[in-house]
Amino acid sequence: MRLVTITLLGGLMLAGGTPVVAGDPAAGRKIANMCRTCHGVDGFAAIPIAPHIGGEPKEYLEAQLMAFKTGARQHEMMSVVAGGLSAQQIADVSAWYANHRVVATLPQGVSAEQAPAACVSCHGADGISVLLDAPNLAGEVNIYIDTQLKAFRSGKRQHDIMSAISADLSNEEIRALAEWYANVGLEILPAE
């Protein structure tokens, strides 16, 4: 029953989320030169501290970049980068990265039913987002997911659903969740 609530909540957030600016992937490709050293030009991250962003929902990418720009979300590097981008540039670069296909593969001998129940209704069993407001988690470095969950738990990062879900998790539980999604294979391909 409660899982239904989450799905509904997610739906509400989509309806009432940030205004979406039309983005131009081609213009975004040029802006992506600022991103590629860490996130790769196709959105497959090149350093552990950066998440894979290729093929994520444009709405999610745009909302996060706007959050970095306004200071609602803070990061040592991303606050510097996003601070210098206009809303149009953010829409364009989000469109570029969103304009990719992702293929996620569960490790051998593992079935989707074993996925962490609290996460699957938004992030999918294989870590491919089923909502526009949730990121893909497939193949992210375990420490990246671990760090984000701890940030939600401590209040450093805030989100209606994530703050509640992470509030009572122990360090060991957080690491186990992170391992599930880190172990999923991820490929990022150009849009068809």
Partner 1 sequence: MTYKSCIAGLLLGTMLAGPTLAQDNMEKLSNMQKTDATFTFVDQDGDRAAALTNILEHINVPDGFEISLYAVVPDARSMSMAPQGTVLFAGTRKDKVWSIVDRDRNRVADEVKDFAPSVTFDIPNGPCFSPDGFLYIAERNRILVFPAAEFFFESPDIAVGAVVPQGELIPEEEESFNHSARVCDIGPDGKLYVSLGQPHNVQPVDKIALYDEIGIGGIIRMNTDGSEREVYTRGVRNSVGQDFNPATGELWWTDNQVDGMGDDIPPGELNRQTEAGQHFGFPWTNSRVEIVSESDAPRPEGVSFVEPQLELTAHAADLGMRFYHDSSYPEAYHGGIFWAQHGSWNRTEPVGARVMFTAIDPETGDAVGAEVFADGWLDEDTGEYRGRPMDIEFLPDGSMLVSDDFAGAIWRIAYVGMAAQ
Closest approach, Cβ 80 to partner 1, in A, equals 4
Q: Which of 21, 27, 87, 118 binds partner 1 (CB under 8 A)?
A: 118
Query: What φ, ψ does residue 135 adopt, rounded to 5°?
Result: -80, 160
Q: Which is nearer to partner 1, 172 or 192 (CB)?
A: 172
Distance, in Å, from the CA atom of 187 to the CA atom of 136, rounded to the nearest integer, reads 12
Helices vs. strands in the chain: H and E counts, helices first: 10, 2
- Answer for which of 108, 168, 190, 192 binds partner 1 (CB under 8 A) is 168
**Sole binder of partner 1 in the list 21, 183, 185, 187 (CB under 8 A):** 183
Q: Does 108 bind partner 1 (CB under 8 A)?
A: no
* Nearest to 48, CA basis, from 59, 40, 58: 40
As measured in angstroms, the least distance from the Cβ of 140 to partner 1 is 11
172 to 118, 139, 146, 149, 176: CA distances (angstroms): 16, 19, 10, 12, 6
Contact with partner 1 (CB under 8 A): which of 83, 105, 158, 191?
83
3-state helix, strand, coil in the chain (%, to 5): 55, 5, 40
3-state secondary structure of 54: coil
By CB under 8 A, name the binding residues for partner 1. 2-3, 5, 33-34, 36-38, 46-49, 74-77, 79-81, 83-84, 110, 114-118, 141-144, 146-147, 150, 154, 156, 164-165, 167-169, 171-173, 175-177, 179-180, 183
